[in-house]
Amino acid sequence: MTRLVRGSILGLALLMTPFLAASSCSQVRCRFSSDCPSKKICGKRGYCVDQCKTKDDCHQEQICIEGECRPMQQD
């Protein structure tokens, strides 16, 4: 492979990293909702979260607290 091709692949991988991280289960830190991937808001704890009115708006392992989907507490 030429250096140009390798450099292009590496550059593309670096550009895609924030989008891949946002689409996974890992939490994305934020200060503003514009820092978050689409359809997420910057939650009160400084992480991108789904906005909700009821538990039905959240993923299966989450609950709706103060308009934010949060993980269920495990005892």
- The DSSP line for 31-62 is SSGGGSPTTEEE-TTSBEEEB-SSGGGS-TTE
Could you give the percent of the chain with pLDDT greater than 70? 63
Mean pLDDT taken over the chain: 79
Residue 43 or residue 10, greater confidence: 43
Mean pLDDT of 29-57: 95
pLDDT value of residue 20:
43
For tokens 């299966």, name the residue: 60
Residue 21, pLDDT above cutoff 60: no
Residue 31, pLDDT above cutoff 90: yes
pTM of the model: 0.56
